[in-house]
Structures are given as C-alpha cells and as structure tokens.
Amino acid sequence: MGKLDGKTIFVTGASSGIGHATAKVLTDHGASVVVAARREEESIALVEELQSDGASIDYIRTDVTDEKQIKAAIEFTVARFGGLDAAFNNAGGGFRSQHDWPQDSSERLDKTFELNMKGVWLCIKHELAHMLDHGGGSIVSTSSIAGSRATESEAYTASKFAVEGLTKSAALKYGHQGVRVNAVAPGIIDAGSWKPRFEADPGLRQRWNEAIPLGRPGRPEEVGEAVAWLCSDESSYVTGAVIPVDGGNAFTIARPS
C-alpha cells in the first residue's frame, strides 16, 4: 500500500528537474498523476516511461500564466482520473539580467512575477474551485530558500516571498473548509539550472559542498518525497508551512562565490 493510493495529483512544471522527479515519486507512492507543462516532447517521454512501468499518469500541455489553460488542465485531470485530491504547483523560474538594478528594465520583473507568482495564484484559484466543492484537498507550491532570505536576484527573491505569502493566506482562509496549503523550499538541487552550472564549473560543486551543512546538493527526488508527504494523509495536521529541503542551507550565512 502506497501512502498516495487512490489519490489524483496535478503537477505543473513536470517536464524537467524537480517536477519531473516528483511526478515519478508520486506515482511510486500510488497516485494517479496529470503532468502539466509547456514542453511536450519531454513531458510525453516522461509519461510513456512511467506508463511502461505501470503508472497511472497522463499529460496536458499547459502554460501556467494562461488562466484558460489552467482551468482546462484541472478539468482534464478531473475527467481523466475522477477527481483532484492534491496539487503540486512547481512551474517557475528566474530570468537573469546582464544589468545592474538601476540600469535594468521592468520587463524582467514582470516576466518573473507572471510565472512565479501569478502562475501559482492561478493554479491555487482553480484547484480550490474543485476542492472546496468536493471535500477538500492538499495544495503544495514550490518556493525556494530565496523565499525567506536575501539573494542578489531581487526579482526572483521577491517572487518567491510572494509564493510563501500566497501559501499562508490560502491556508488561513480555507483550512476550515478542508483544504491544506503548504510549500516546499528547495535549496541547491542537482537538477534544472544548477546542473549545467556544476558541469561548467567543477569547483562550484565543491564550494557548495563546503557551505551546505549536509555536505552536498540535494537530489530532486528528495524534494519529491517532501511533496508526497504533504500530499498524503500523513501530514493531515500541517498547513501554512514552508518545508525547507535544503540540507540546512537556509539557516547558514555561508554562500560560495
């Protein structure tokens, strides 16, 4: 018996990195999963791989900044697997700039907030619309260690602070109606944008190994296990929480250059 047997879970940003690994973790624990992402080739490959292993999983192309697509993706999930018990709002990212803040344009800020904050807001909106009418559920979003501490990427940092604010506000407002809302805050994870940075600079990994209390970057599956727990009944008395999955990095001041 898996901890997620009988549950249907909606996952955004699942074509790579943390979302990709988490989709596999969730199916390993018995969930039926719909993956929603913009990159079709990678998403379809994931679905076919996991279906060949016996997983109950499907895909719908989705841009989380488009409300019509989010609504359609939730409706697809309910129609495909008969309900929506939990969701993992993982789609997000940062947009790097070559300019200092005084010379930068506001376009990067707008793009970052549209993806990281508005995308999560829209997902929660349409997930709630179903869950409130069907006995509740669990919503998990991806923040970052940048959601609770300063970094030099001010737009990304501010957007992740916003994700944590959305999480806590939704938890406060809808807990009495049976919906739990939490977030995970990954640290340095050996996936996504960090993988090519480690490959390009072999010394960077060692510098992070020395800075992180547990002595290494995390694996995306380790974030997935935290998400699985928050989606499961094992976390039934947890809401409004932001769970760091960072090897202890959030409470240190060390940061390699």
Catalytic residue check, 156: yes
* Distance separating alpha carbons of residues 223 and 92, to the nearest angstrom: 15
Which residue stretches of the chain are H helix? Answer: 17-28, 40-52, 67-81, 107-113, 119-131, 154-174, 194-200, 202-211, 220-231
Residue 246 near residue 213, CB atoms below 8 Å: no
Which of the residues 59, 156, 174, 237 is marked catalytic?
A: 156
User: What CA–CA distance (Å, rounded) separates 138 from 84?
Assistant: 9
Q: Which residues contact 141 (CB under 8 A, 6 or more apart)?
A: 88, 89, 90, 120, 123, 124, 163, 166, 167, 181, 182, 183, 184
Q: Report the alpha-carbon distance of residue 163 to residue 70 in Å, rounded.
A: 17
Catalytic sites, residue numbers: 156
